[in-house]
Amino acid sequence: MGKLRRAGLFLFSKTVAVGILGFLLSLFSSEILFAVPAGMELNFAKALFFPILILMYVLGLFGEAKKRWWEWRRFRTPIVIGVLERYVDDSKRGIECKPMFSTKNSWLDYFEGVTLDGKKSFTANPMFWSEISSKYAAIINPFGEIYLEIDRRNFLTYEKIKEFVANGGIFCCTGGFPFYYQWDPTTGLPVDTTPKTRITTAAGIQDIRLFFDSLVTKDFGAIITNDPPSPI
- Domains of the chain, residue spans: 2-73, 79-192, 194-232
Q: Mean per-residue pLDDT for 45-55?
A: 67
Residue 88 has a pLDDT of: 95
Task: Say which residue, 90 or 33, is predicted with more confidence.
Answer: 90
103: left (phi over 0), alpha (psi -120 to 50) or beta: beta
Predicted TM-score of the model (pTM) = 0.64
Residue 56 has a pLDDT of: 67
Please write the tens of the pLDDT for every residue from 116-159: 778 888 889 999 999 999 889 999 999 989 999 999 889 999 99
Task: Say which residue, 7 or 104, is predicted with more confidence.
Answer: 104
Handedness of CA 15, 18, 24, 27 (dihedral sign): negative
The 3-state secondary structure of the chain, one letter per residue: CHHHHHHHHHHHHHHHHHHHHHHHHHHHHHHHHCCCCCCCHHHHHHHHHHHHHHHHHHHHHHHHHHHHHHHHHCCCCCEEEEEECCCCCCCCCCCCCCCCCCCHHHHHHHHHCCEECCEECEEEEEECHHHCCCCCCEEEECCCCEECCCCCCCCHHHHHHHHHHHCCCEEEECCCCCCCEEEECCCCEEEECCCCCCEEECCEEECCCCCCCCHHHHHHCCCCCCCCCCCC
Residue 37 has a pLDDT of: 64
Residue 208 has a pLDDT of: 45
Q: Mean per-residue pLDDT for 153-177?
A: 91
Please write the tens of the pLDDT for every residue from 69-79: 556 666 677 88
Q: By percentage, how much of the chain surpasses pLDDT 90?
A: 29
Handedness of CA 173, 174, 176, 182 (dihedral sign): negative
Contacts of 183 (CB under 8 A, 6+ apart): 97, 143, 146, 147, 148, 149, 190, 191
Q: By percentage, how much of the chain surpasses pLDDT 70?
A: 57
Residue 21 has a pLDDT of: 57
Q: Which of 87-101, 130-144, 194-208 has the lowest mean pLDDT?
A: 194-208
Q: What is the CA angle 136-138-141, rounded to 5?
A: 115
Tell me which residue of 148, 159, 170 sits closest to 80, measured CA to CA.
Answer: 170
Average pLDDT over the chain, rounded to an integer: 76
Q: In which band, very low, low, confident or very high, does the pLDDT at 114 lie, cut at 50, 70 and 90?
A: confident
